[in-house]
Structure 1
Amino acid sequence: MRHIALPIGSLLLFLLLWQLLAAAGTWSETLVPPPAKVWSAFIDVSTTHDGVRGYNGTTLIEHLGISLRRIALGAGLGIVLGVLFGLVMGTVGWVRSLFEPWITFLRTLPPLAYFSLLIIWLGINEEPKITLLAVAAFPPVAVSTTTAVTAVSQSLVEAARALGASRWDVVKDVVVPSALPETLTGIRLAVGVAYSSLVAAELVNGLPGIGGMVKDAANYNNTPVVLVGIIAIGVSGLVIDGLLLRLERAVVPWRGHV
């Protein structure tokens, strides 16, 4: 009960403080709208009202679904490439020496730094958005996988070779299981980075899309809709992170117990 009561209690306290701050009148409702106004905006963008369907002709769940599809494609591509590169860099020394500085360089760049370049190269349709999310998700997975592979116990590798395992057998049966916990942590970080890059990815031609909705509403100082979009991104991110945690517990149940 405590695990349920504490989050609910913190949420109610946050809503109370929010209401008190809005009612104090220190800032206008344009800057700090009350919770009731944000709830009304949530209902408006989720349904058809006064002949208007959702926001810009698309409901909230549809905006969110389109953005989640972009994240699934972009982050999924970045995660797959990151795992493969991490395995190669962790097992082949010269490949790591060649590519690790470039991956570190890429990891330190904010998404907006190269998004304009992607637009010049790929246009304003889906390609630059998905590419941006892939580039943002790639470094965390590659770095975590590389670190995990290089940390694999050499005694386990030597024991497998002594029993006649080939190089592929060692990678498949020793390296991958040993590196899996840290790789899954890198995947969780990659999904978080992709989410933090979502609004940047949808800055240009982002409608329909939850990030595009937030950007468009901000252009018109429509703070309630902006808050609805931010809350939708945060809640969906929490759900996906929870699913990844369940996956981690199912795939590597020994983590934290050995």
Structure 2
Amino acid sequence: MSARVVDEETADLQLDVARRRLATQVAVGNFGLRAGAVSILLALWWAIAAAKIFDPVFVPSPGAVWDRLIETSTVHDGQRGVSGYLLYEHLLTSLRRILIGSVLGVAGGLVLGLLIGLVPVIRTLIAPLITFVRTLPPLAYFSLLIIWFGIDELSKIWLLLIAALPPVAVATADAVSGVHQDYVNAARTLGANRWQVALRIVLPSALPEIMTGVRIAVGVVYTTVVAAETVNGVPGVGGMIRDAQRYNQTDIVVLGLLIIGASGLILDGLLHYAERRLAPWRGKT
């Protein structure tokens, strides 16, 4: 092996190490900024509560919310959590509803989006309906779903499904329509049929935009789950929030919102990681 080849390999290794070091520094810096922002918000919240600018019924202190976290997570004075369930049971029930509604909505949105983007007749027939449903607030049709499916799980799952489907369908349709026609023509020239073109050419090319639609859809489902659990939603974080609101237990309401928001951030981070793994070419082509 010549000295020149060795020098080139050494330079490549050094460049790779430098890139990893830079990525680590950026990640640490971003974490520090986020931690600082959260600390400032907590300090501001504590200062407002300590100054008693507002009645504690309206603005509970961080300490009161922390106490509620302990109470709702344990058995105290013979009472098990809140509304008869521990906090993690409320959270797991809500996450199960979110997961089922999101998976079904994303699957339906992918299918409809592909059909709308690839078949002009279906685009003409279905695209206006998707847009119509997307503009409706979830509570507008939740009552109708309750009449159709009752107050148990089925109506909640349908609500979350319908909330998740339009963003994925619209993102998929737009992404499919934007795929360069040269890729499609090249695949057809090599003998690929319509479904092979859709699954092996169009879908991978549109994947980055589709993943964005999935992240938006999951966010919409998170904002809808509290509405879905306002009717017979115990166990569930939304049902817990509804019961606390009836008795002006603002600390439990704030706790429920923080739990939903924190779990939503974690799930969005996982989806963002999945997007980088599934479509690493985004922004590079």
TM range (shorter): over 0.9
* Post-superposition offset of 1:4: 2.0
| Partner Cα distance (1:167, 1:64) in 2 | 43
TM (normalized to structure 2)?
A: 0.89
Equivalences, count? 258
The letter for the 1-side match of 2:225 is: L
* Residue 6 of structure 2: aligned partner: none
* Post-superposition offset of 1:52: 1.2
Higher alpha-carbon deviation: 169-178 or 220-229? 169-178
* Residue 241 of structure 1: aligned partner: 268
* Residue 79 of structure 2: aligned partner: 52
* Residue 23 of structure 2: aligned partner: none
Q: What RMSD, in angstroms, separates the aligned Cα atoms of the two structures?
A: 0.9
* Residue 90 of structure 1: aligned partner: 117
Query: How do residues 96-245 of structure 1 correspond to structure 2 at under 5 angstroms?
Result: 96-245=123-272
SS at match of 1:33: coil
SS at match of 1:197: helix
1:255 maps to 2:285: no
| Partner Cα distance (2:196, 2:101) in 1 | 31
* Post-superposition offset of 1:6: 1.3
Alignment match of 1:19 (pick from 46, 53, 57): 46
* Residue 34 of structure 1: aligned partner: 61
Encode CA deviations 1:180-230: one digit per residue, 9 max, x unaligned: 111111110100000000111011000100111111111110001001100
* Residue 94 of structure 2: aligned partner: 67
The letter for the 2-side match of 1:19 is: W
The letter for the 1-side match of 2:141 is: Y
* Post-superposition offset of 1:155: 0.9
| Partner Cα distance (1:186, 1:107) in 2 | 13
* Post-superposition offset of 1:100: 0.4
SS at match of 1:203: coil
Higher alpha-carbon deviation: 11-20 or 136-145? 11-20
| Partner Cα distance (1:223, 1:94) in 2 | 52
The letter for the 1-side match of 2:143 is: S
| Partner Cα distance (1:161, 1:5) in 2 | 50
* Post-superposition offset of 1:160: 1.1
Pair member with larger Rg: 2
Show structure 2 runs of 5+ residues with no match.
Answer: 1-27
> What stretches of structure 1 move > 6 A for 4+ residues in a row?
none
Show structure 1 runs of 5+ residues with no match.
Answer: none
Q: Percent of aligned pairs with the same residue?
A: 53
TM (normalized to structure 1)?
A: 0.98
| Partner Cα distance (2:88, 2:100) in 1 | 18
